[in-house]
Chain A
């Protein structure tokens, strides 16, 4: 089966020019191959570079070395070197990302926040809103909150809106960064359910879950990561 994601020899460091140009290596020579139907959980302590790794795959962070090959169904794109427009196209149809925090846009209603990724794909407003409502209901966001912008919601509510937005489109590859943090048990279980459904339907997931129970429920395998020492590899 063709891998949906192939990471080869990925290395990344940060250079903080305004702090005496400190050089902070975070990832060194990471390799990972993911095929559809897998859920790979990134394991490791804080500072191991797990979030950084996800952001590199999404094109949010740049890489120093290596390839990040993603199969878009039409072609193979190397996120490490692709032009911005290719990455935007990839993010619309192939790679989804649920971050730890919801970036709040003022004045946009919860329903619009969640239905937007569908509308951007050309889905009709009616269908997009329908599917958004379905997702919001599943995640137990009360209907009275749907017309409101999420800025004033509780942390848990915001996180569920974030998850809803990230999962409303069926993406072949999903990158999840602590999607169940700040959720209670019921909602956590719902998110697990949704993730398992997607994996069963053939999506691939690369995720970070600090909660061991969640890890065990969704993972098909794990990748161990550890913080780099400052001694060069």
Chain B
């Protein structure tokens, strides 16, 4: 296999598929985003070899930051082995020849759809989120001009309306994923459809967190060690999901569990959504406590 360096092309494609000028444009947007934590930076989203709605934003961010020495992990709902994760990982392997891995601890760049790995991240790691709808106020205010003003003027009280409606309808805040947060005490942000279980992991994380929305053409970021606070009410504080069960495979009691139906008689088992974390625990049970 011929190794690809810098701007060498393979079958006519540049390193990581995008041309260098595009990568430069995206990196400028990323820098802006990092400079203003939680602020949505518009960028000129390119056509990618997968349809809008499948992670084109995440892919563009990853493509712009990958270098030949990086190690890439790709997960989809916590899993390295779903179709999307496999396809995206193969895509980058083909266009960059960087090393890929399933181990969170070994990766320098982790692209994720809708989960944060259970293994705590380290300084120097980058987490790239795939975002469908970046604008947290969209449900309340359909006009883009108006939502931009609301962000500019920090008019966020209305976001609590969604939570109010939940409590009025269900007796508690029922939003369980894509739970809105305030970043660095200033910008209201949508963390992408990660379960609210993962929200606390975003707070003061040593890794750099980047968010890409390809169809909506926005990039935003949470720099390392930044405050990320989930919205709540004084009398209805933010709470993460709990399960009565532990992981059926590795016995973990503090991870996000997927419910898997095992037969047609109502049988089900609960298993860690993060396949790598679960695998590590099974392989070295004492070491992974």
Chains A, B in direct contact (C-beta < 8 Å): no
Give the B-binding residues of A (Cβ under 8 A). none
